[in-house]
Amino acid sequence: MNYADRQVWKGEQSGEFTIRSAYKLLQDSSLNPSSIILQIELKNFYSKLWSLQLPTKITNTIWRIFWNYLPTLVNLRSRRVLINACCPRGCLGDKDCSHIFRQCLTSLEAWQMLNLSWVTNNSIPEFRDWLTWVLLQGTKEQSRLFCYALWLIWYSRNRLVHERIFIIGRQLAQNILSYKAELDEARTKQESSDLFRRNRSMEILPMIKIYFDAAFDKRTSRSASGVLMNFWHQSQSFTIMCHLRSRQKHLVQGEPNLHDSPSEGRWARDPD
């Protein structure tokens, strides 16, 4: 009989997911020495990868390479997308991640031109172990160059498959070095800009606040005004208070007195 495909959870006999079964699986894996070693290796691998400060597209590609999520010819054949999985460059063997980055003649030539021939160590059979070993053994600059090379090797493979553009290992190595120089220059400019902004933000610029007020007394016909300035700079602060001279309005002789309407008279300023 034919049944539709459906997802099942292996932690329960019923195939249904439960929190209890997930917790049990985590407990069992935490007691397995091989799982503990794998977790430590993964932590070291990702710690080194994040510390390189690579562009997002390269980091994502390295992550896909590590988990074998790239659409290599072998993976496409396993999904019945195609039949032939041989290397389009004419190399022997099926084109999986190990062949693309470790065994292909073009990649081997590029590694030698980049002075990274030590990454072609074939004593590590598992590709994921080899990738972890290279990233952890190399210096920061070597690891960054290694990641740039992985991304451009995969990029050149796509151009060969989809656009029929073939390049030799020497040209591939030159492209990798040019791309590295471009990214290093952009990273240096970004670091300089970030440093300038941090130093600028640490500078405490002087700040001044000015307060002004005025008052008038109708009974004595006197007015007064004043200015208060607060000044802060770094750890020092002080206040300046200015009291403007008081003024009194007088009637000019022959003009109406204070009880008369202001519109009918004319005020004269204090001679001061």
Nearest-angstrom CA–CA distance, 148 and 152: 6
Residue 1 confidence (pLDDT)? 55
Q: Are 233 and 258 in contact (CB under 8 A)?
A: no
Report pLDDT digits (tens) over 23-80: 777 666 554 545 555 677 788 888 899 999 899 999 999 999 998 999 888 888 888 8
The closest of 172, 168, 171 to 150, measured between CA atoms, is: 172
Residue 176 confidence (pLDDT)? 94
Which CA distances in Å does 204 have to 169, 210, 231, 234, 269?
55, 19, 13, 6, 46
Label residues 172-193 b or e (16+ Cβ within 10 Å = b). Answer: bbebbbebbeebeeeeeeeeee
Residue 143 confidence (pLDDT)? 94
Nearest-angstrom CA–CA distance, 15 and 8: 5
pTM score > 0.75 for this model? no
Placement of tokens 């007394």 in the chain: 217
Bridge partners of residue 236, in order along the sequence: 233
Which CA distances in Å does 121 have to 102, 126, 146?
9, 11, 14
- DSSP result, 67-99: TT-S--HHHHHHTTS-S--B-TTS-SSB--HHI
Q: Where are the domains of the chain?
A: 19-51, 53-201, 207-268
Residue ranges, the chain, pLDDT below 50: 31, 33, 251-272
